[in-house]
Amino acid sequence: MDIFQKCYDYTDAKEVMKAGIYPYFHALETGQDTEVIINGKRTIMIGSNNYLGLTSDPRVIEAAHKALDKYGSGCSGSRFLNGTLDLHLELEKKLASFLHKDAVITFSTGFQTNLGIISAIAGRNDYIICDNANHASIIDGCRLSFAKVIKYEHNNMEDLERVLSNIPENCGKLIVVDGVFSMEGDICNLPEIVRLKKKYGARLLVDDAHGLGVLGEHGRGTGEHFGLEDEVDIIMCTFSKSLASLGGCMAASEDVVHYVKHVSRPFIFSASIPPANAAAALEALRILEAEPERIKRLHGNANYMREGFKKLGITIIESTTPIIPVMTWENERTFVITKALLDEGVYVNPVISPAVKPGHCLLRTSYTATHTKEQLDFALGKFEKVMSKFGLI
């Protein structure tokens, strides 16, 4: 049998394209901002992870330009060999100080960060305990390790304890959980997870991809939000969201970072972060520290939209983060509504099964600190028009 047969047989996306409601790979003709141009048309962007609005900040752009001029376009090798710049070390030192950890190691992407951490830390005789709503990068990191993986029901602490209580005491245990779950926008029950990790002698990795710059008074993430920073053994962060760049990092104790730095294959065998990306992330971090009021504006905008949806009678999933899921329930309906909103000048992300349970499809909307009330009101008006048309108000 031809190994390509599965490719020839795959028609799902082509059928959606033929129906004229294909929602993916739209080309932006401008930079990532609160407003973008798609197909020559002004569009309000409420589908990005640009939480602090820094992708278009002149200071971030200037920092990237200067690094490009000084260091060139790339590093041509891995951090392990010829690809370490003083800029990488400066970024890691700054991140460690900000996150209140001994040390930091940076990776080329956020996805690679989870692959690199989990596959290095968890070995053949260890157990990884995962929330079943964790990000795909966590799932793939678990597959890359030789550890036994056990999932517990999403944010169900009784089920987490059931899993932990059945693991042999003499085995290594790593609990891995998203701080903010990227589709639903809810936050992990960190206080109870910390209690259980102590009770059963486990270690804890929190993926704060959507927590950095979002949660906590200073934007340090889920640990700061709950006052439990010291109880999180490993913090994973990405640069492609609040830090307006590309890359990721692991923050932990000196010994743990030293170990991962020397045994993690995804780290050792990947090229390092390009200079412009490292400089952009470093400048964005400086702005976050200097302007914590951005976090308040971010949550103010999210709360404004949350209340706006409720007043219109639109069904949403309750959250306290800038991610607000709007329920559409059915796959095809989700695509049709997504296209209708785009035609009206509003960009959202469709989420269908298997990313969510069948019958629980949604539109993932997300907000930034730099959205204006006029932009948000425009989006709400278009939601009212489109959702009314489909009988969802």
Query: What's the rounded mean pLDDT across residues 289-297?
Result: 98
**161-198 as b/e: b if 16+ CB within 10 A:** bebbeebeeeebbbbbbbbbbbbbbbbbbbeebbebbe
Confidence of residue 354 (pLDDT cuts 50, 70, 90): confident
Residue 355's pLDDT band (cuts 50, 70, 90): confident
**pLDDT-based confidence at residue 170 (cuts at 50, 70, 90):** very high
Name the active-site residue from 101, 135, 173, 241. 241
User: For 39-52, what is the mean pLDDT?
Assistant: 97
Whole-angstrom distance, CA of residue 135 vs CA of residue 181 = 8
Same domain (yes/no): 320, 378 = yes
Domain end point (choices 261, 290, 319): 290
119 carries an active-site annotation: no
Looking at the chain, the whole-number percentage of residues with pLDDT higher than 70 is 100
CATH (domain of 229): 3.40.640.10
Query: pTM for the complete prediction?
Result: 0.96
CA distance 207 to 172: 19
Average pLDDT of the segment spanning 94-113: 98
- Asked if 231 and 223 count as a contact pair (C-beta separation under 8 A), the reply is yes
Which pLDDT score is estimated for 357? Answer: 85
Q: Do residues 265 and 302 both lie within one domain?
A: no
Among 182, 242, 245, 270, the one annotated catalytic:
182
pLDDT band of 230, cuts 50, 70, 90: very high
pLDDT band of residue 353 (cuts 50, 70, 90) is confident
Is residue 207 domain-shared with residue 303, that is, in the same domain?
no
Same domain, 170 and 243: yes
Over residues 86-111, the mean pLDDT reads: 98
**Pick from 255, 290, 325: which residue ends a domain?**
290
Q: How far apart are CA 274 and CA 272, in angstroms?
A: 6
Section 363-386 average pLDDT = 98
Mean pLDDT confidence for 288-304 = 98
**C-alpha pair distances (Å), 110 with each of 86, 106, 181:** 21, 9, 15
HSE toward the beta carbon, residue 342, CA cutoff 13 A:
25
Check whether residue 82 and residue 39 sit in a common domain: no
pLDDT bracket for residue 21 (50, 70, 90): very high
Catalytic residue flag (residue 173): no
What average pLDDT does this structure show over 205-216?
A: 98
Spot the catalytic one: 88, 101, 197, 210.
210
Q: Are residues 200 and 321 in the same domain?
A: no
Q: Do 215 and 74 share a structural domain? A: yes
Domain shared by 68 and 166, yes or no: yes
Mean pLDDT of 173-194: 97
pLDDT tens profile 131-166: 999 999 999 999 999 999 999 999 999 999 999 999
**C-alpha 53: how far from its chain's center?**
15
Q: What is the pLDDT at residue 103?
A: 98
Report pLDDT for 188.
Answer: 98
Q: Which of 243, 260, 290 is the last residue of a domain?
A: 290
One domain, residues 132 and 267: yes
Judge whether 241 counts as a catalytic residue: yes
How many domains is the chain built from?
2
Query: Tens of pLDDT along 117-137?
Result: 999 999 999 999 999 999 999
Residues 159, 39 share a domain: no
- 182 and 239 part of one domain: yes
pLDDT band at 201; cut points 50, 70, 90: very high
**Contact between 174 and 121 (Cβ < 8 Å):** yes
Say if residue 354 is in the same domain as residue 309. yes
Q: Residue 356: what pLDDT?
A: 85
Q: Which domain holds residue 68?
A: 58-290
User: How far is residue 283's CA from residue 18's CA, in Å, rounded to a whole number?
Assistant: 44
List the CATH number of the domain containing 326.
3.90.1150.10
